């Protein structure tokens, strides 16, 4: 059963419990969705408590705006939210306040005039070529079969620009003998992507020296799978486990920035374009339905603008 924290004022605690029960029972939302609402609204309720508001009837529009400002910067002690996450949080607040007003717990809805923050278009985060090399080398630090698997997994992610779901979904037969791999994207759409020599060597080493070892665990229990990447039980490696492989490698490599599987996908595209690849070729490799999606990688960073300006303008340097 979903519950609210016990240290909130009674009126806030009761209002939050009632709303979560409404979401779960009357609106039939899933447990995961209710938990997401619970996290957002618990943070908000704690902020209101800090302002001295003991119930929703006391909340004003400036209180709501102050909360949104606080979470955008993490000033309330929680994680700073992106504009998209802040907009989602505001939607959760609106639902709670509307429910409270409809149920007679508050005279009005203070979120009516509050606007969501502008969602600016940001450049995807990409690692430098050196950082990618350090990351891939760090994956090999694990002893035995897991280390060979981890290196092959990350090399393949970076070499193909594949989504994590596409790469862990590969079967052995999807890895061609002609330096290509078949990836199955959204909607089951298939595309053939070249595989670089480093990734080919890593996958070959994994197939010869590591996968048979991992597959033994599955065969001992009467299981076998065509999956390319296996876990220690001989089953297909999950997306969550692949994410953990990447996180451990990033920690060992000493990378300060946040690294996710999509970071390698962004790095793949950015490095190709920086090397002179045509944007429509990169679109095909990434499996984007529209070139518009791919063109975000062609956006020039302020740092790149300064470097070009300093190198090209005759009076840029004193």
Find the catalytic residue in 186, 189, 233, 306.
186
262 labelled catalytic? yes
189 labelled catalytic? no
Find the catalytic residue in 97, 265, 266, 271.
265
17 labelled catalytic? no
How would DSSP label each residue in the chain?
-----TTS-HHHHHHHHHHHHIIIIIS---HHHHHHHHHHHHHHHHHHHHTT--SGGG--HHHHHHHHHHHHHTTTSSPPPPHHHHHHHHHHHHHHHHHHHHTTSSSS-TTTT--PPP----PPP---HHHHHHHHHHHTTS-HHHHHHHHHHHHHHHHH---HHHHHT-BGGGB-SSSEEEEE-GGG-EEEEE--HHHHHHHHHHHHHTHHHHHHHHHTTT----BSSB-TTSSBPPHHHHHHHHHHHHHHHT--S---HHHHHHHHHHHHHHTT--HHHHHHHHT-SSHHHHGGGGPPPHHHHHHHHHHH-TTS--
Find the catalytic residue in 24, 38, 53, 163.
163
Find the catalytic residue in 24, 105, 271, 288.
288
Find the catalytic residue in 262, 280, 306, 309.
262
266 labelled catalytic? no
Catalytic positions: 163, 186, 262, 265, 288, 297
């Amino acid at each position: 059963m979903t519950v609210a924290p016990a240290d909130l004022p009674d009126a806030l605690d009761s209002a939050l419990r009632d709303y979560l029960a409404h979401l779960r029972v009357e609106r039939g939302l899933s447990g995961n969705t209710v938990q997401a609402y619970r996290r957002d609204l618990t943070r908000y309720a704690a902020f209101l408590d800090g302002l001295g508001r003991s119930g929703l009837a006391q909340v004003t529009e400036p209180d709501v705006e102050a909360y949104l400002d606080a979470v955008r910067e993490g000033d309330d002690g929680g994680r700073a939210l992106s504009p998209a996450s802040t907009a989602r949080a505001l939607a959760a607040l609106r639902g709670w306040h509307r429910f409270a007003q409809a149920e007679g717990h508050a005279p009005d809805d203070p979120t009516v005039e509050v606007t969501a923050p502008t969602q600016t278009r940001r450049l995807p985060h990409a690692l430098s070529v050196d950082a990618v090399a350090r990351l891939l080398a760090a994956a090999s630090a694990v002893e035995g079969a897991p280390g060979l698997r981890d290196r092959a997994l990350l090399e393949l992610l970076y070499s193909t620009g594949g989504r994590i779901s596409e790469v862990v979904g590969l079967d052995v037969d999807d890895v061609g003998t002609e330096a290509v791999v078949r990836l199955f994207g959204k909607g089951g759409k298939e595309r053939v992507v070249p595989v670089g020599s480093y990734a080919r060597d890593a996958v070959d080493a994994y197939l010869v020296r590591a996968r048979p070892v991992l597959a033994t665990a599955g065969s001992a229990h009467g299981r076998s799978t065509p999956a390319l990447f296996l876990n220690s039980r001989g089953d297909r490696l999950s997306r969550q486990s692949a994410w953990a492989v990447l996180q451990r490698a990033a920690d060992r490599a000493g990378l300060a920035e946040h690294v996710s599987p999509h970071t390698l996908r962004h790095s793949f595209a950015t490095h190709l374009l920086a090397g002179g690849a045509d944007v429509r070729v990169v679109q095909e490799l990434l499996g984007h339905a529209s070139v518009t999606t791919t063109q975000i990688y062609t956006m020039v960073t302020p740092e790149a603008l300064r470097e070009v300006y300093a190198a090209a303008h005759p009076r840029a340097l004193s």
